[in-house]
A = this chain, B = another copy of it.
Amino acid sequence: MREAEPTRPAEPRRGRPPKGRVVLTRKLIVTEAMAMAEDRGLDSVSMRGLARQLGVDAMSLYNHVDGRETLLDAITEFVLAGMELPPTTRQFRNDVYAIAQAFRAAAVRYPRCAPLVLTRQLGSFVALAPVEAVLTILRDAGFPPQRAVHALRSVLAYVIGALLRELSAGPTFSGDNLGGVEKRLSELEASELPHVVEAAPFLAVCHHDDEFRFGLDLMITALEAQFQPR
């Protein structure tokens, strides 16, 4: 995906070596910003740092992007645009499940950029395509428009909350983590709160995939109960 440039001398900055001279383009700027975010974190994406990475003057970016905030919006849009809408099977449970997982997949693909998708509301068209898809599923299952909107928002709230935990927990707090689990475990046990202590082994780890499915299943089950699924 990205190649080194061995002709350049050693670079003082972390991360990959900056690009050589390059024709600046909105697309290139966004792509490079995402690459930067993915390997050094979103906070490290500054207009100046990004320009440095591109081997370009900071102010040149402003010819293609309105400023930092709109650059972040562009990243948000890009991540969301990567979502593949699954074809409908006309089975309520399957379809809700599949589209939620598709959203999750799009987010997880860019784990450090994805929090933008979860926290910014962008009014753009790309955000409406998934909305249409979910509304279609709900309407087909018999939800009238207003209830469909409620249901959409409920599922979305759950999905966003779950992904926010999954993504900002970082590589820590997954099941296969070594030292961290024991430390959290002993912290939990030190609390002396009886049910926290009792559940400590389960609280200390989090299998995001199982967790996501569990809550999603709850949501779908409750929605099915509102209208008999076919």
Q: Which residues of A contact B (CB under 8 A)?
A: 115, 118-119, 121, 123, 125, 128-129, 131-132, 135-136, 139, 145-146, 148-151, 153-154, 156-162, 164-165, 168-169, 184, 187-188, 191, 193-196, 198-199, 202-203, 206, 210-211, 214-215, 217-219, 221-223, 225
Q: Pick the contact of A145 from B119, B151, B199 — CB < 8 Å? A: B199
What are 27 A-B pairs with beta-carbon distances under 8 A? A119-B168, A121-B168, A129-B193, A131-B196, A132-B196, A135-B199, A136-B195, A139-B195, A139-B198, A149-B203, A150-B211, A150-B214, A154-B162, A154-B214, A154-B215, A157-B158, A157-B161, A157-B215, A158-B158, A160-B160, A160-B165, A217-B222, A218-B219, A218-B222, A218-B223, A219-B219, A219-B222
Instruction: Flag if B128 contacts A196 (CB, 8 Å).
Output: yes
**In the complex, what distance in Å separates the CA atom of A225 from the CA atom of B119?**
32
Instruction: Flag if B202 contacts A149 (CB, 8 Å).
Output: yes
Report how many copies the assembly holds.
2
Instruction: Flag if B165 contacts A157 (CB, 8 Å).
Output: yes
**In the complex, what distance in Å separates the CA atom of A165 from the CA atom of B160?**
9
User: In the assembled complex, which residues on chain B have CB atoms less than 8 Å from the CB atom of A203?
Assistant: 131, 149
Known contacts A115-B119, A128-B188, A218-B219; 17 further A-B pairs (Cβ under 8 A): A125-B191, A128-B191, A128-B196, A131-B196, A131-B203, A132-B195, A149-B202, A150-B215, A154-B158, A154-B218, A156-B161, A157-B161, A158-B219, A218-B218, A218-B222, A219-B222, A222-B222
Instruction: Flag if A202 contacts B168 (CB, 8 Å).
Output: no
**In the complex, what distance in Å separates the CA atom of A217 from the CA atom of B218?**
11
- Closest residue of chain B to A132 (Cβ to Cβ) is B193
User: In the assembled complex, which residues on chain B have CB atoms less than 8 Å from the CB atom of A202?
Assistant: 145-146, 149
- Closest residue of chain B to A216 (Cβ to Cβ) is B154
